[in-house]
Every structure is written in structure tokens, then in C-alpha cells.
Structure 1
């Protein structure tokens, strides 16, 4: 199957996808703030520049988009029907990079939470997930 839009327009679309201050990330940050947690953003000295860093708890939070980071069994993690070989390679690289970043952070004694884009709509569940995790540290 061929792409329905021109390569130039596809490039323009892709250039508009942000990697920080996304809506899901802002929602998680707002929730954390309301829960009383204080945090730092995108620390460059940590592997993967985590979206949210809670230094007091030595915990980092990654807010992952289900499509880009391939949330398993999620309806948002669909694969485009055109250029599937390209997309599958891109997704495999992303998954491996995420795995390596988590490994490096654990090696540095940091705890890692991954919040998926689809989890953001259930605020109570997300709040419970975060507070349960942080209660151990």
C-alpha cells in the first residue's frame, strides 16, 4: 500500500510531533503536583532524559505514547499499513532503546515508572499506581 500523502507533507506532519511537554506529560505532571510531589523535568545528566524526575525518591517517570513505544495489546499501538518494514524497524529500535535506558537507570540505583498514554484517562488508577510505587521508597 502506498502513502496517501506526499513525502513533503508527511515530513511536515512528523516535524510537528513533540517530544516534551506533550498533553499526557502535562496531565501526569499536574497530577503529581496535586498529590504533593515535587519534581524536575528532563534531566540531561540521566540516561534517556526522563520526562519527570523525583529526586527525593530516586525515581524517574517516563510518559510513553502507546503508538511510538508500542504498548503491548493496546489499541493505540497500531502499525501503519504503508512502509511497514520501515515502521517495524523504527519501533524495534525504540523498544530496544527504552529497555537499555531502563537498564542503565536501574544500574545507577534509580527506580523507573512507565506511564502509558492510555492510562492517563483513568486518573484515579494512575494516582493509585504512582502512590503505590512511591510508597515503597
Structure 2
């Protein structure tokens, strides 16, 4: 399959992909806030700079993009048809780095929660995921 976008345009599109403050991450933050949870963002003193850190719960949350972090069985986990070898190597390194990061955090006695982009499309879905993995009950407003 031929890429329908010029190489320069595709490069610009890929550069625009953000590492922090993504739409799925903002959805999870909004859900956590509505649940009355206190959290910190991107703590640099923790391996992998987790997207959300719940210090009192000793829990970190990573909101992973399905494409970049290879969500198993997800339809967003595609592989580009051009330069496939490069992409497969890149994805493999991403997944390996994630696993090392999670292990380091667990060794430091942090609970690691991974939420996937496709699982947190709405605030309600993000709330459900947080309640599922965090040891909290929904607090009344």
C-alpha cells in the first residue's frame, strides 16, 4: 500500500505527536479530578515520568497510545506498510523500555497501572478504568 501523504507532510505529522498532555491523558486527568483524587503529573524523579502519580495510593498511571506502545489485540495497533523494518524495531524498543520502567517502579514499591488510549475515550470510561484499578470508591461531590 502506498502512503497517500507526501514524505515531508508525514514527517511533520509524526513530529506533532505529543508525549505529554495528550487527549487520552487529559481525559484520565479529568476523570481522576471528578473522582476527587489527588495526583501529580510527570514526576521526573520516577522512572518513565508516569503520566499521573497518586502518592497517597503509591500508584502510577501510564496512559499509553495503542499504536506506539502496541496494545495487544487493538485495531489501532497497526504497522506502517513503508519502512516496516524501522517501525518494527522502534515498536519493539518502546515495549521493552516500558517493561523495564514498570519493573523499576514495582521494585520501588509502586503499583503500576497502564490505561490504553482506546479504553479511555470518554470521562465515564476513564472513571471506570480508574475505579477498576485504584483502591478507591467514588467520592460524592
> Is the TM value for this pair above 0.5?
yes
Match in the other structure for 2:139 = none
Distance 1:128 1:10, change over 3 A: closer
Measured against aligned partners, the alpha-carbon deviations of 1:65-101 in whole angstroms (never above 9, x if no partner) come to: 0001000000011111111111100000000000000
User: Structure 1, unaligned stretches of length 5 or more?
Assistant: none
Distance 1:75 1:110, change over 3 A: same
Match in the other structure for 2:97 = 97
Tell me, yes or no, if the aligned pair for 2:64 and 2:117 is still in contact at 8 Å: yes
What secondary structure sits across from 1:61 in the alignment? strand
Structure 1 length normalisation: TM-score?
Answer: 0.91
Distance in structure 2 (CA, Å) of the matches to 1:77 and 1:132: 24
Match in the other structure for 2:114 = 114
What secondary structure sits across from 2:100 in the alignment? helix
After TM superposition, give the deviation of residue 15 of structure 1 in Å.
1.1
After TM superposition, give the deviation of residue 3 of structure 1 in Å.
4.3
Distance in structure 2 (CA, Å) of the matches to 1:17 and 1:132: 28
- Which runs of 4 or more aligned residues in structure 1 lie more than 6 Å from their structure 2 counterparts after TM superposition? none
Tell me, yes or no, if the aligned pair for 1:2 and 1:83 is still in contact at 8 Å: no
CA RMSD of aligned residues (A): 1.7
Greater RCO between the two (CA within 8 Å, min separation 6)?
A: 2
User: Structure 2, unaligned stretches of length 5 or more?
Assistant: 137-141
Would you say how many aligned residue pairs link Structure 1 and Structure 2?
136
